[in-house]
Amino acid sequence: MTKDKHFLQANNYICKYLFTMRKPPLHNSFFNAFRGVLMMVKSERNFQIETAAFFINLFLIFYLKLTTTDAVLIIIISSAVLAAEIFNTAIERICDIIQPEFDKRIGFIKDISAGAVLLLAVASVSYRNFNLLEIYLNFVLINCF
């Protein structure tokens, strides 16, 4: 058999399998998704730190009585950081399966994936800090002058 014929047979098998596979019930899909988040909380230190920061942000939203717009933006940005960390972990795990030994190319993929999380985290902290600075300055200006 030629290489192209092997490829076509494999491709046909994959397409047939994907389109005939039964989908699990909706509640199972949600259960699996929540289980994935719980696995991240249990096993990933960075995700634990980012989850703690998320809850600190929620506390500050209510404690400081932020506007709805600010609160929604902080929640969206913080959730994006958590989602990016999940994607980063998935990419790292896939890379480890594909190439268990050290490889500079895999290291590059892992580094840029982690860099995306870092950029979102910096954006999240920056936005929150600008909000806190504005609240603090308003408090000082109102109460001191």
Report the topology of domain 44-144: Helix Hairpins (1.10.287)
Of 128, 127, 54, 130, nearest to 85 by C-alpha is: 54
What are the residue ranges spanned by the domains of the chain? Answer: 1-43, 44-144
Is there a contact between 91 and 110 (Cβ–Cβ < 8 Å)?
A: yes
What is the reported pLDDT for 24?
79
What is the reported pLDDT for 137?
82
Encoded amino acid at 72, one letter: V
What Rg do the C-alpha atoms of the chain give, in angstroms?
22
| pLDDT tens column, 68-117 | 999 999 999 999 999 999 999 999 999 999 999 999 999 999 999 999 99
Is there a contact between 128 and 74 (Cβ–Cβ < 8 Å)?
A: yes
Q: Quick one: pLDDT band at residue 131, thresholds 50, 70, 90?
A: confident
Share of the chain above pLDDT 70, in %: 85
- Cα–Cα distances (Å) from 144 to 76, 85, 134, 135, 141, in that order, read 34, 42, 15, 14, 5
Distance between CA atoms of 56 and 127, rounded to whole angstroms? 14
